[in-house]
Chains A and B, each alone.
Chain A
Amino acid sequence: EIVLTQSPGTLSLSPGERATLSCRASQSVSSSYLAWYQQKPGQAPRLLIYGASSRATGIPDRFSGSGSGTDFTLTISRLEPEDFAVYYCQQYGSSAYTFGQGTKLEIK
């Protein structure tokens, strides 16, 4: 089973700043099979990025994804107040899915 490790566990930033979230896999992941989600308190997760770098429908262009192999990154170029939430990466491989443990993005 591929293990995804996200860092940092908590990221404290201010609105307007740039956020960089990391997701590292225990073995190589196809870029086609790496996704990112946002989850706010009391809500279901929402798909942000799929295929490592493709934005889901309706996702603002301040969200971008990059990476390949074992290292992937979610970047939020200029934080808006509504972006403070928990972010999860997820991979698919060998008919199984795994999620990272999450990064909490909090207001500084």
Chain B
Amino acid sequence: EVQLVQSGAEVKKPGESLKISCKGSGYSFTSYWIGWVRQMPGKGLEWMGIIYPSDSDTRYSPSFQGQVTISADKSISTAYLQWSSLKASDTAMYYCARSPGSYYNVWGQGTLVTVSS
């Protein structure tokens, strides 16, 4: 079964760092892009960026460039999304999703990140 399994919910304080993960299984991890999508509470989907694990080619939405870092470790079929200094406005559900190119056909279950003092 093709699946993406994300790391568990996180509760952090403003200013702290965080790295969440997305592990792929059941397919060739290096043959598909992995994207990250933010969904703030009660809001819509926002595309953050995408990485091709085979060569770590990474693209960011202008809205998220410089705010987060996307990376991947193909040896363990895992992609990551990280923050160096969280803000309260980073509170959201974060989804990873697999893309063959122009759409997302497999989604992770989501990781809820809560940032509160």
Contacts and interface: CB of A to CB of B under 8 A. Distances in A.
A47 B103 contact: yes
A79 interface: no
A100 B46 CA distance: 9
Given A46-B107, A96-B59, A97-B35, A32 B102 contact: yes
B95 interface: yes
Q: Which 10 A-B pairs have the closest CB atoms?
A: A35-B103, A92-B102, A44-B107, A97-B47, A50-B103, A99-B45, A33-B102, A102-B44, A47-B105, A101-B44
Interface in A21-73: 32-33, 35, 37, 39, 44-47, 50-51, 56-57
B44 A44 contact: no
A5 to B, nearest CB: 12
Contacts of A51: 102-103
A88 B45 contact: yes
A97 B61 CA distance: 8
A96 B103 contact: no
Given A50-B105, A97-B35, A45 B95 contact: yes
29 contacts: A1-B62, A33-B102, A33-B103, A35-B104, A37-B45, A39-B45, A44-B97, A44-B108, A44-B109, A45-B45, A45-B95, A45-B97, A47-B103, A47-B105, A50-B102, A51-B103, A88-B45, A90-B47, A92-B101, A92-B102, A95-B59, A96-B59, A97-B35, A97-B61, A99-B37, A99-B45, A99-B46, A99-B47, A100-B44
